[in-house]
Structure 1
Amino acid sequence: MKVAEQRFCRNGLPYLIRSARQEDAAELSQLRLQMDSETENLDREPGEGFIDASGFEQLIRSDTESDRNLFLVAIADGRIVGFSRCEGNELKRFAHKAEFGIGVLKAYWGNGIGKNLLSESIKWADESGLAKLTLNVLETNEPAIRLYEELGFQAEGVLVNDKTLSDGKFYNTVVMGRLR
């Protein structure tokens, strides 16, 4: 699915959010690697689950063609600095919902990019008739949890000892959902 481009400005940083395009594929591949090395809030170690440019091209193509998926990018300073993706499900019993994921380069945290990516995704989900958005978040990512709660998400459960981080300790994953 595609959505209209939206422009924002926060802390003097102008940026836009738009649907991902085929020509974004190579940049997205490198961006994801960089994000994975900047924080342990994401699921992957740097290089794990690597998606090359052709893999992103296929993902963008299928998401653009599907009315159940949405792939957004945030552009600032002439480059992609964040992205989000909603992935729906074709199974009838789950067709009412989509799962949301997001990443923003650390240098751009605090500029409302994540909030606006999520807000645009919520708007799309509501307009598409989806009843529910879900997401998973590391229990220690308190700023993200506060943002999700601010935008109507509620904790629905906890996956105990779900992840192990570089300190060798186990951490819980909080499962959150938002009903329209």
Structure 2
Amino acid sequence: MAMNQREFQIKELGYIIRPAMKKDAKELSEIRVQIDGETENLDREKGEAYIDTLSFEGLINADTEERNNLFLVAVMNDKIVGFSRCEGNLLKRFAHKVEFGVCVLKDYWGYGIGTNLLKESIGWADSNKITKITLQVIETNVKAVNLYKKFGFKIEGILEQDKILSDGKYYNTIVMGRFNG
């Protein structure tokens, strides 16, 4: 389901957040691989679970048509610098909630892009009678955990020793949820 485009100005940078469009698919495929290689905060290593252009087109089409899905991109100077998705479930018992995920290119961290993608997603969810947003975040991403808490997310559980990072150590995944019902 779509939402309107919004403009933002943070520090010296201006960008827009808008729904993803079919024409974004190739660029999304490329930057997703890049982002995965820039941080260990995500589930994938660079190149894992690769999504090609055609598959991104399918995601964008599905997310545009489904009431409980939202695919947003952050665009600066005609370049996608981040994106987020809210993915719902067609089962009636889960139709009240969506799973949120966000990715931002490392060069654009600190400009509120992830925060604004989250705000737009929360606003969309609240206005579309979606009462719960869930997400998962690695325990070492304290900045993200604090941001989510600021927007009403609560820790619902811990998946212990859930991920192995490049240092060979195990890390916990924090399961968070925001209920607005």
Which category of TM-score, normalised to the shorter sequence, fits these structures?
Answer: over 0.9
Distance 1:167 1:36 in 2: 16
Cα RMSD over matched residues?
A: 0.5
Distance 1:39 1:158 in 2: 21
Aligned AA (2:103) = G
Distance 2:97 2:168 in 1: 34
Q: Which residue is 1:21 aligned to?
A: 21
Q: Which residue is 1:44 aligned to?
A: 44
Q: Which residue is 1:165 aligned to?
A: 165
- Give the SS at the match of 1:130: coil
TM-score (norm 1): 0.99
CA deviations over 1:96-152 (Å, ceiling 9, x no partner): 100000000000000000000000000000011011000000000011111101111
Q: What fraction of aligned residue pairs are identical, expressed as a percent?
A: 59
Distance 1:49 1:68 in 2: 23
Distance 2:109 2:11 in 1: 11
Q: Which residue is 2:53 aligned to?
A: 53
Q: Which runs of 5+ in 1 are unaligned?
A: none
Q: How many residues align?
A: 180
Q: Which residue is 2:112 aligned to?
A: 112
**Mapping of residues 124-139 of structure 1, within 5 Å:** 124-139=124-139
CA deviations over 1:6-61 (Å, ceiling 9, x no partner): 00010110000000000000000000000000000000011110000000000000
Q: Which residue is 2:7 aligned to?
A: 7
Distance 2:6 2:148 in 1: 20
By how many angstroms is 1:78 displaced?
A: 2.3
Confirm or deny that 1:175 pairs with 2:175.
yes
Q: Which runs of 5+ in 2 are unaligned?
A: none
Distance 2:31 2:150 in 1: 27
- Give the SS at the match of 1:90: coil
* Moved >4 Å (runs of 4+): none
Distance 1:77 1:149 in 2: 31
